[in-house]
Amino acid sequence: MKRTLCFAGLLALAVLVAACSGRGASVPTVTLGHAPWRDGERLTYNIVDRNGSTLGTSEFRLAQEGDGWQLTATDKAGQLDQTATVRLDGSTLKPLSKEKTIHRAGTDATLKITYSAGKVQINAVVNGKEQNVSIDMPADGLENDQLLMTLRALPFAQGYQGRLTDVVPDTASKVPTTVRVASQEQVTTPAGTFTAWRVELDFGQAKQTVWYAVEAPHAMVQYDNGTTRLVLAQ
């Protein structure tokens, strides 16, 4: 489940399973088009709680890297300061690798992740202790830290549905996920008012909502994980 701001149980070996393991079996795999973003794109969001108070900021940067892309996501909120850099295949937008640093009270962690030959290799150093584990990579898997930006490549149309597996190497888990394009809505943010697609993410035990601008390159304008929101600032 993308962009959770808590950091729990690094490399917990139990794989998360949705409430109903057969959920979404009749839904086709998510279809992604070409990368909609531009080289050098930078998006900044305010992290807002349910009372409307700003807790911090999230920033996403996208850069072309040879035939692929590099996505860098940085969260700063209170004592949390984390940065993830995900490298993506240029044609499929599938993850190739990730490096991530996490600093917060009681936790100092560095992760190096590689995606290869149907496996996810996780190498981490958490508070000075090394941890290594390998898990299977589903054919429909996407890296958790790429999810919000990558869904900008959906074939947006009302009623569209697709399934994927949200791979969360930070906790060595895999979450079956259904993506549904629900409707178009007007969304007002500090960066302006946008006509946006409302996209619903169903993780089985949790549901989240993302809004993407109807106009290309389909920037994410707001994201609600049920506890906090990311709201486009610039």
Q: Is residue 20 part of a domain?
A: no
Q: Is residue 8 part of a domain?
A: no
The predicted pLDDT at position 1 comes to 56
Supply the range of the domain harboring residue 195: 41-232
> In the Cβ-directed half-sphere of 188, how many Cα atoms lie within 13 Å?
0
| Token couple for 7 | 């950091």
The predicted pLDDT at position 26 comes to 86
Q: Is residue 48 part of a domain?
A: yes
Distance CA 151, CA 169 (A): 19
The predicted pLDDT at position 234 comes to 81
Residues of the chain with pLDDT under 70: 1-25
Distance CA 90, CA 163 (A): 21
Nearest partner of 109 among 117, 118, 100, judged by Cα: 100
Strand partners, 60: 43, 73
Q: Is residue 18 part of a domain?
A: no
Q: Is residue 24 part of a domain?
A: no
Q: Is residue 127 part of a domain?
A: yes
**Total number of domains constituting the chain:** 1
Nearest partner of 2 among 208, 220, 212, 217, judged by Cα: 208
Q: Is residue 10 part of a domain?
A: no
Do residues 71 and 62 make contact, with C-beta atoms less than 8 angstroms apart?
Answer: yes
Strand partners, 71: 62, 86
Q: Is residue 33 part of a domain?
A: no
> Which residues, including other chains, have CB under 8 Å from residue 46's CB and lie 6 or more apart?
54, 56, 57, 190, 230, 231, 233
